[in-house]
Structure 1
Amino acid sequence: MAGPVPKRVLITAAAGMLAVVAGWAAFVTFFAPAVPISPKPVMTTPKAKLEPATFAQLPGWRDDDHLAALKAFLQSCDRLIALGPGKAGPKGTRAKLIEVCKAAKELEKPTRVSAKAFFEDRFIPHRVLHKEPHGLLTGYFEPVLEGSRKPQGKFQVPIYKRPPDLVNVVEETQRAAKSDGLTHLRKTKAGTEPFPTRAEIEQGALKGQGLEILYLDDPVDAFFLHVQGSGRIEMTDGSTVRINYDGKNGYPYTSIGRYLVENDLFPADKMSMQAMGRWLRADPERARKVMWQNASFIFFRELKGHDADGPLGALGVPLTRGRSLAVDTAYHELGLPVYVSAPKLKHATANGGFRRLMIAQDVGSAIKGAERGDIYFGSGERAGKLAGITKHPGNFFVLLPAPWPKTRKAAG
């Protein structure tokens, strides 16, 4: 039964993420990037290495819910098997990962104990080492918003589907790893050319092409929806639709949080999710120009059938709250388990500290680095609050498929 439309979730929590990823975002001036945009993406990967470890060296390993991690891992398996070995991922790990997936699918009624044993049997943990002692963890979520199928009343902000002339320069799973140049272009009779920027699109560059799939009532909500990459929309007729990322205009993501701070428009020590939202909504014209600093613009598709059960990650499988992790695919193959140790991240767990086996199932334009991760916190207001205050140091232990058979060592 359709009930009243829920109150819009304030997704200004995403602003916190915009601020914390500032170190990885390019500084831009109004309407144009301040750094040259190469039409061909250039992948820059600072040096990092993987050092073999033991499960006993993973802080809190034996206390984790390995069955929950196994269920998230299995979400990826059918997709990985369908994709085949290919050439994706560093060191061609996908073929070995597919073999582990096949073994996981044969498990009968796994328990927390047997799931733990499975990971210990089939994988070897590797500590991620680079020039810094820790990496950085942020969070993301699926906002819940109000919307309309047609422009009416307060619903005047269009959400666009993927244009037919948009072409990929790189695979979607590699868009963050190769985001130094244009990742998408517009196909023309003469070849290809850059797609319109956010500013150009919002000033009518796509108007009249029939690309609008629904309308929101707040341009700030629409902007943060682009940052999150998915959303659940409560429609005026009482129905609910789920929309998901389906391409972008190709430009690198730029943090408006950093723009505000670096241009003395907002004090760094006052930056918060609530304050960012208030600042943007206080002056719509000012907010528009600031949001145009991020030339990147996202296109969406409406999910149908089983796909609509939850937001989909870059791997094309439903994300699992608290277990799905967005990573940099320049370093890590999608589908790999990654044990995350972040003792200072205490707001996301009941027992204090975040020590959890997660699965690399997504990417993000701001997620760049060997030990850079984005935790999926779920849907709705509470998830948004958790995501918005997540900016914590952490360490990764990547689980690489082990030679099989393997003699299992005690993990402690």
Structure 2
Amino acid sequence: MLAPTGRSSAPQGPAVEPPEPGDRDLILRHLAPLLPFDALIEVLYDAMFVRRPYLRRLFPESMEFQRQHLAHMFQHLIDHLDRPVELDARLRALGADHRKLGVWPAHYEAFEESLISALRVRGGQLWTGQVEAAWIRMLRFAVAAMVAGAEGAATEPPFWHGEVVGHERRRPDLAVLRVRTGEPYPYRAGQYAALESPLLPHTWRTYSVACAPREDRVLEFHVRRTSPGGVSAALVEGTGIGDQIRVGPPRGSLSLDLEGSDVHRDLLLVGGGTGLAPMKALVEEFAAAHRARGRRVRLVVAARGRDDLYDWPALVELAANRSWLELTPMLGPDLEGLAALLRGHQSVPGLALLSGPSGMVAGARSLLLDAGVPDHRIRYDGSTAGSR
């Protein structure tokens, strides 16, 4: 529990009291004995499973991924504690997502109890009640927002059942999966979803949907195996047609407003690696809506080499007879091609959407800002789900 899933719109729910002013500074001044967070988290989970062994079933067999994400979440809480409105939105979405794990408010109480024990163990003789109180306020703020998010999403299914109807190995480490959900899946092009393989119960990873909504309820996912084990390896190497997977609710902020100003702007879409997936879905949606008249859409596919252009034939087919769509492969480890592209045009794009490895997204954003694109017209998801 308490694992980040990326930026998304926050479900509605009750108002949550923010932490006290000064809590962040107090926590930061006494953070050193608690670092690295890995050690704190190990003590936390040991205490929780000893006291309440029945909670172990909510977690995957391997806790490595969970520990990494909880450490990231602790850091995120501390970094953003002075921005409670922004933090509240992310935590509400996180709480809504945790419903698929079977997490209830009582489980958060057990988590708080175990965290307090771990803080005292790791804090040692220098630990004070004042610092502990600041940690408790931070945690209770987080839990209250997550519970509110879960309540706000009560009418939304925690997950959808899906059947794999297509599995293509485009490279030894990459597969394109097509999954048909049993019930309609209400998403927008550009969004992402968490997937669970039966090979790894209680373990979820997020992947962008690589197609616009279709009447046959088929979703396409581009999955790259980045390491042995884990959900990506299970989906690439251990999954076949007919297998069942579970699909979490759609999340993400890359969708276009086809009824508003988005449709009247020239678009620049930059996808790196499997971050191509949401860009492909957006182009499909734009084409299906017949809103491209007089507008220009440039899709830049960033790849280290030609082998990384794993979906190029499908993109060429998508661009056929669509004069408004321009495909641009950008090969190489840096973004010089994008810089040259921006220098070569007299006008900047009206809207730029980015997806891929975090370094690529940060570099592309910097180039766009330098080229004069306002920051509010550059969009990307914080965790860039499509890059996995």
TM-score (norm 2): 0.27
Higher strand share: 1
Higher helix share: 2
